[in-house]
Amino acid sequence: MQPLKYLAGYPPHVLARVHALIEEGRLGAMLNERYGQLHAVRNDAQLYDYVQALKDRHLRKSVPLGKVLYDGKLQVMKHALGTHTSISRVQGDRLKASREIRIATVFRDAPAGFLKMIVVHELAHLKEAEHNKDFYRLCAHIEPDYHQLEFDTRLYLTELEMRAR
Ligand SMILES: [Zn+2]
């Protein structure tokens, strides 16, 4: 069996189920069935609006957004699904922090739920740098289905990679 790099760290019984789905050739169909809905966030300007709207709803008081963009050079796993960069700029006499959010381009064509998941993940990093309990609690507060969506996003990335082979 090939190791499932997007699912590293998940317990063996979960991985066994995923391997079974793959061997039966059912992974893609299962994801399609569950996540047929695409999104209309096609470019960086639309992505900015999408991220800003979610931030306004859930994290109004945290640092302002800097740039928000799709990044085709981002390697999804290397950067734990997305990146969050803290950039300090001098504005007038004050040092002002703003945050840049880059989303891997693979999410532009992904189902709506997966874009939502990755944006929630990156927004939560505005408050919590680490992947700790508070971080995941915040993710689940913003998007109650967060954990399922993250898992299924990993399945989706696994499926994409198999298809490309
Ligand atoms: Zn992260």
Amino acid at 104: A
Amino acid at 139: C
* CA separation for the pair 122, 120 (Å, rounded): 6
What residues have their beta carbon closer than 5 A to ion ligand 1?
A: 80
pLDDT at 91 over 50: no
The SS3 of residue 65 is strand
Mean pLDDT, rounded, for 90-109: 70
In the chain, what are the domains? 38-159 (3.30.2010.10)
Each residue's pLDDT tens digit, 113-154: 999 999 999 899 888 888 889 999 999 999 999 999 999 999
Q: Do the Cβ atoms of 81 and 104 come closer than 8 Å? A: yes
Ligand 1: distance of its center to the CA of 129 in Å?
Answer: 8
pTM: 0.86
pLDDT at 27 over 70: yes
The SS3 of residue 6 is helix
How much of the chain, in percent, has pLDDT values that exceed 90? 57
Ligand 1: distance of its center to the CA of 93 in Å?
Answer: 32
pLDDT band at 98 (very low <50, low <70, confident <90, very high): low
Q: Spell out the alpha helix ranges (H) of the chain.
A: 12-23, 27-34, 44-58, 112-124, 133-142, 146-164
For the record, the structure tokens of 97 come out as 């922090």
